[in-house]
Each structure stands twice: as structure tokens, then as C-alpha cells.
Amino acid sequence: MVATVDCAAIILAGGESSRMGKDKSSLCFKGKTLLRHMGDVLTHAGLEKSIISGPNHIADEIRGAGPLGGVHAVLRHVGGRHAHLVFAPVDMPALTSRLIRRLMNAPPSHALVHYAAHKVPFRLSTDKRWFELADSLLRDGENVSLGYFQECVPGRLALEVEDGDRSAFANINTANEWRMFRQGQAL
């Protein structure tokens, strides 16, 4: 299925992985790295190419700012080449292409589309106001959370999460969470 809006895929892979103890994007899952796995999820959703936000790709201009630093850098880099960007974190290996397609296919009139009670994955329009908002929040430094940024974007749409999809939002941050995920235990 092809997206109804012009979207590009962004993999957020810029975290320091300090709680994991090693780079999460290089962890092996189903015979490939988590970075490659997320790229495949996005490709199967209909996004032809993934742009990677991370130190060896599109590096954060303002370091230590978490996911919002990656969003900021990508918005500056991509500019208006696409109408919307779909952001997916590298450390959500259970995320499905079907859930990404739901973001892609939401009405384009919404500046921000995410799942209820979840900050990631999300779709964001590339309107320059969102870069300016991220830039202002990061330079002010008072509240640099992705959640706060998203709250500041008018025109948000929160998609409902179906019961069978709840486990797809498991975020892997520690070695213990990774072990539990690999053993099929709920996080």
C-alpha cells in the first residue's frame, strides 16, 4: 500500500545507549541489526528510503537533547523536500509496518499524528514552524522533551492503539529489557 501523503522515513538512532551499555542500533535481531530491521519495517510500510538520525548520519546539532535533538537536525536537513516525515525509533523492534502505514495514511491536514499514550512513532509535517519550535525549545533548554514539543504542535491526531498492538510499542533501553524481549516476555 502506498502512502496517501508524501512521506519520508526517519530512524531515530542517535541515543547514547548508556542504559544498554552498547549501541542499541547494532544489536542483532532476526539475523540483522536493529537499525536494518527498522529500515525493513519502514520499507515494507511503503517508505522507499530511510534517513538515519544519529552520530554517523544526520548528527544532532545540539547534543544531549534526546529525540528532540534528532528531530531538529532532521527537519533542518530535509527542509521541504517531503510534506511529512515518519519518525520511528531504532529501539522498538516489535513495531509493525501496519502501524507505520496507519500513520502515513492519516489525513494530511494533521500536522502531527501519533498513537495515543505514545510519543513514537509519529508523523510530522515539514512546515518550517516545527523546525523553529524545536530550535526555540532546544536553545531555551528548559523543556527539551519530545512529548512537550508534540504538545506544542496544534493539529495533532492521536490514533487509538488496538489491544493486539500494545506490545508493538515496547521500547528497549536496558540489557534486561532486551533479554526479556528476546525471550518473549512482556515489558
The sign of the dihedral angle between the CA atoms of 130, 132, 133, 137 is positive
DSSP bridge pairs for 12: 53, 89
Give the long-range contacts of residues 60-65, CB within 8 A, separation 24 or more. 60/14, 62/138, 62/139, 65/138, 65/144
Bridge-based pairing state of the strands 50-53 and 28-29: unpaired
pLDDT in 10s for each residue of the chain, 187 residues: 444 578 999 999 977 666 776 788 899 999 999 999 999 999 999 998 899 998 889 999 988 889 999 999 999 999 789 999 999 999 999 999 999 999 999 999 999 999 999 999 999 999 999 999 999 999 998 899 999 999 999 989 999 999 999 999 999 989 899 998 988 866 6
Q: Please tell me the distance from the alpha carbon of residue 158 to that of residue 150, in angstroms, as a whole number.
A: 11
* Cα end-to-end span (Å), the chain: 31
Contact 117, 107 (CB under 8 A): no
Question: What pTM was computed for the model?
Answer: 0.92
Q: Which pLDDT tens digit goes with each residue over 90-138?
A: 999 999 999 999 999 999 999 999 999 999 999 999 999 999 999 999 9
